[in-house]
Every structure is written in C-alpha cells, then in structure tokens.
Amino acid sequence: MTDSITLTRPDDWHLHLRDGALMQQVTPASARRFGRAIVMPNLTPPVTTTAEALAYRERILGACPPESAFTPLMTLYLTDNTTPEMIREAAAQGIIACKLYPAGATTNSDSGVMDIRKLQATLETMAEEGILLLVHGEVTQAEIDIFDREKAFIDNVLEPLLSRLPELRVVMEHITTADAAAFVRSRERNLGATITPQHLLFNRNHLLVGGIRPHFYCLPILKRRDHQEALREVAISGDSRFFLGTDSAPHDRYRKESACGCAGCYSAFAAIELYAQFFEEAGALERLEDFASHFGPDFYGLPRNNDRITLRRAPWTIPEVLHEDAEPIVPLNAGATLNWQLADG
Ligand SMILES: NC(=O)N[C@@H](CC(=O)O)C(=O)O
Ligand SMILES: [Zn+2]
Ligand SMILES: [Zn+2]
C-alpha cells in the first residue's frame, strides 16, 4: 500500500474565496495546497471591472500567510453590460477569464447574463484576446427540472455558443452529469471541464436519504449515482480536458442549516486530500497528478508549477465544524475519515 504521494503542486481552477472576514478565514487553506487558483467573481456586489478585480486580488494576497507564493488568477463576472473595451482592458491587466452566470442560476448570480446571444461582440473580443469563458452550465427557466438544467444548458446554450465562437476557449465548470462528460469528449478542441470533489465522492442519496443534509447541497445539485459513475470514469481516464476545480464555496453554518439553505460545499480545508481519497478509492492514484497538477495549466496555456507537495497516509476525522470562534463553517463530509494529510514544507 502506498503511504506517501508526491506530486507537482496542484492548482484549483474554480474557487470561491469570498471577501472580508470569511476570506481571511478560508484563504490560508487554499494557499497551503495550491500554487494558483481561478478566483470566482460572485461577490456582493460582483466583480465586474478590471479595477475591482485588481483590488480584490490585493485583498486576497493580504489574506495569504506571509511566506506563501499562492497566485490568485482573477476573473470578471459577465453582465449584459460587459463591453469589448472592458475585455481589452482586462486582458492588458492580466485577467485571464470571464465567468458566465446565467441570471438567477446560483449563489450571487442576480446580476448575471440574461441572454448570452447579446454578448457576441464581447465574446469575440475574449476569443481574440485569449481570455477564457468559464460557465456555470445550468439554465434557469422555472419549468425545467433542477436535475435537468445542466443537460438543457448544453443543448440550448452551450452547443450553439461553441458553434458561433469556435475560437473561444471554454471551461464548463463543476460538471455533474454523464451528458456533460460525453459532450466535452465529443468536441474536437477548446472545451474543457472541471470536476469537484463532491461530485466525484457523492450522489443525491448522500443529500436526501435519511433526512435532508444541507451541507451536501450545492449547485449544480448532486445527481443520481450513474452520473457520478460517469464523472469518476472521465476523471481517471487520462483525458486532459478534465481537471481539478474544487468549487469550494464556504457559507456560514447558519445560512446552510436553514429553512432556505444556500448552495455551496466547503472543501478547501482538505481539497487535495479529498481528491486523493477518491483517486485511491477508484484504484487510480497514479492519475491524480495529471488531473490535479498538469491538465489544468495545459488547458489554460500556463506553465505547470515547478515545486511539489507530499501527502502522507495518516487517517484523521474531518471536524464537525471549523472556525467555531469566528464564522463557523461545516466542512464537506464532516465527521468522516480521510486517509491523507498534507505534509508540511
Ligand atoms: N456551487 C455552489 O453551490 N455555490 C457557489 C456558486 C457556484 O459555483 O455556482 C457559491 O458561490 O456559493
Ligand atoms: Zn457555479
Ligand atoms: Zn463555484
């Protein structure tokens, strides 16, 4: 049995660091594990301009431990009013991606895009400037079942968008269905996908059997087991279009344990350890490094990290709650055992 894994330092290609006190609490956990992270712009109010993104970047750097070399990669939140000029300015200032939230699809998405077809000139400029489009891939029409919203997005929004913009590089974030996995595989180029630890480790039974478990509630919602199986298969397949993006999305415990609990799982406290748990369960530990550390930078056209991290087998119990004396957060899979620990240094 392997007792230690050393791998190129991984990156997180989908992360919510929030702002203010919560950002101070959660940022060190990501900075310890990852070299870089694509930071989501869904603050309140959202990060829609380059100036806001650069100011946010400074606040994040201020929340990193002093010795940390963590690099936040900044994104802009697309709205109906994002112009080609704004994209050119963003590119000039080192912003590497824009995020599409269909209006109303998820946490803090109210100012999201109403009709993506109206943003054609902006998206063309993104393709020209080499800025990636990251999508929360769910439609929002009330009549579409919540379990079908990802598939409907692929058919009604994503496929036509990719046909209109063959040069635009797109990442379908947090994919949750066999349909999304098959769609990404079916494209020739320019489409990648991130997969979260919760969608690899769990399915909707974990959310709903024996009581409603709000800490497994995220969007897109956990799907049935056969979708989980399809995601597991592509994650270990060695297909370089699928890579790590935690979607770690912390919320105060009391906003999740509520009559109307909000969406988001907190995984940054042990993100790479959770993925290692899954790869080991799947008998594919030797594929972890490609998924976690190689395929993401390759897709983004960035260099791979040149330092390494080590995980050691040392089983521990995930605490029931973290940051109890500040804003308490319940971690993903609280109370369960994780086999791996990050070695210091
Ligand atoms: N995934 C979630 O359930 N929530 C995210 C938003 C998102 O990534 O859709 C959040 O910001 O809380
Ligand atoms: Zn999302
Ligand atoms: Zn997210």
Tell me the mean pLDDT per 10 residues along the chain, length 345. 95 98 98 98 97 98 97 97 98 98 88 92 98 97 97 98 98 98 96 99 98 98 98 98 98 97 98 98 98 98 98 98 96 98 87
Candidates 18, 38, 42, 252: which one to mutate for ligand 1, based on the most atoms within 8 Å of Cβ?
42
- Is residue 327 included in any domain, yes or no? no
- Which atom from ligand 1 is nearest to the alpha carbon of 105? 9
pLDDT for the residue 345? 59
- Is 225 within the bounds of a domain? yes
Whether residue 332 is contained in a domain is answered as: no
Nearest 5 degrees, angle CA 184-CA 262-CA 243? 25
Which CATH number goes with the domain that contains 229?
Answer: 3.20.20.140
Its domain, for residue 202, covers 10-306
Q: Please count the structural domains in the chain.
A: 1
Q: How far is the CA of 314 from the centre of ligand 2 (A)?
A: 32
> pTM of the prediction?
0.98
Q: Is 42 in the pocket of ligand 1 (CB under 6 A)?
A: yes
- Cα(313) to ligand 2 centroid in Å equals 32
Spatial distance between the Cα atoms of 72 and 252, rounded to a whole number of angstroms: 23
Does 319 fall in a domain? no
**93 in any annotated domain:** yes
Question: What is the CA(136)–ligand 1 centre distance, in A?
Answer: 9
Please work out whether the CB of residue 107 comes within 6 Å of at least one atom of ligand 1. Answer: yes
Q: Mutate which of 173, 246, 247, 332 to test ligand 1's pocket (most atoms within 8 Å of Cβ)?
A: 247
136 is in an annotated binding site: yes
Residue having the nearest C-alpha atom to atom 9 of ligand 1: 106
Does 198 contact ligand 1 (Cβ within 6 A)?
no
pLDDT at 126: 98
Our mutation pick for probing the ligand 1 site, out of 219, 221, 251, 327, counting the most ligand atoms within 8 A of Cβ, is: 219
Cα(314) to ligand 1 centroid in Å equals 30
Asked if residue 149 has its Cβ within 6 Å of ligand 1, the reply is no
Residue 343 placed within a domain: no
Is 277 domain-assigned? yes
What's the per-residue H, E or C state across the chain?
CCCEEEEECCCEEEECCCCHHHHHHHHHHHHHHCCEEEECCCCCCCCCCHHHHHHHHHHHHHHCCCCCCCEEEEEEECCCCCCHHHHHHHHHCCCCEEEECECCCCCCCCCCECCHHHHHHHHHHHHHHCCEEEECCCCCCCCCCHHHHHHHHHHHHHHHHHHHCCCCCEEECCCCCHHHHHHHHHCCCCEEEEECHHHHHCCHHHHHCCCCCHHHCCCCCCCCHHHHHHHHHHHCCCCCCEEECCCECCCCHHHHCCCCCCCCCCCHHHHHHHHHHHHHHCCCHHHHHHHHHHHHHHHHCCCCCCCEEEEEEEEEECCCCECCCCCCECCCCCCCEEEEEECCC
Does ipTM surpass 0.90 in this model?
A: yes
Report the pLDDT value the prediction gives residue 304, as an integer from 0 to 100: 98
**What's the CA gap between 230 and 178, in Å, rounded?**
5
Whether residue 181 is contained in a domain is answered as yes
The reply to whether ligand 1 has any atom less than 6 angstroms from the CB of 250 is: no
